Chains A and B, each alone.
Chain A
């Protein structure tokens, strides 16, 4: 499968600071990517969908001014958590979408995740 990297893998920050998480696709280009968050023992919650070169589409209840997404290129996307608070502590996972073409399913490749702890 395709390789997606995420950096940092974990981060601890003070309340009120901003944290940037970087997501890279290492061996394929993708116009569409997703950001998820996952709380312990819960499933992935989609935060936003972004297409390269256009603004991200945020899911209901996700503050776009707090979670800034920049889909800079076909292989790079960043998520910035602005003015982080303890309730933002979670596991953040990015995913790139690979288009398989006619007859095949679109396949998501996930990064290894970033564990954010806000003190």
Chain B
């Protein structure tokens, strides 16, 4: 069983939709929770990180962590075609990150 499981997708939504991306994890030692965006043939780019249960908002993006359920989510409001990418969740402990497999999102104009 993988330590981090991510909803595989792919996901296709119309422009302006609210997108929900989700990951579950099994390792209680994870300290920090991150979301990265990766465009095709590019390296990942950090979108958000958090280290406690609850919500963290940054513009159109909201990261949600529920440590009791070992569940994290990323919500994208008013999605744009430029949001089309692969989104990776990642969790940090013991000096390294463990990544989910990614969810590919397509936002159609």
B57 at the interface (CB under 8 A from A): no
Complex Cα gap A41–B102 (Å):
8
In terms of DSSP, what is the predominant structure of the interface of chain A? strand
Residues of B near A106 (CB, < 8 A) are 32, 92
| Given known A43-B101, A105-B49, contact A111–B43 (CB-CB < 8 A) | yes
For B33, give the chain A residue with the smallest CB separation: A105
Q: How many A-B residue pairs have CB under 8 A?
A: 51
Residues of A near B31 (CB, < 8 A) are 105
Min CB distance A113 to B, Å, is 5
Interface size range on B against A:
20 to 34
A46 at the interface (CB under 8 A from B): yes
For B2, give the chain A residue with the smallest CB separation: A43
Residues of B near A32 (CB, < 8 A) are 95
On whether the beta carbons of B95 and A49 are closer than 8 Å, the reply is: yes
Min CB distance B87 to A, Å, is 11
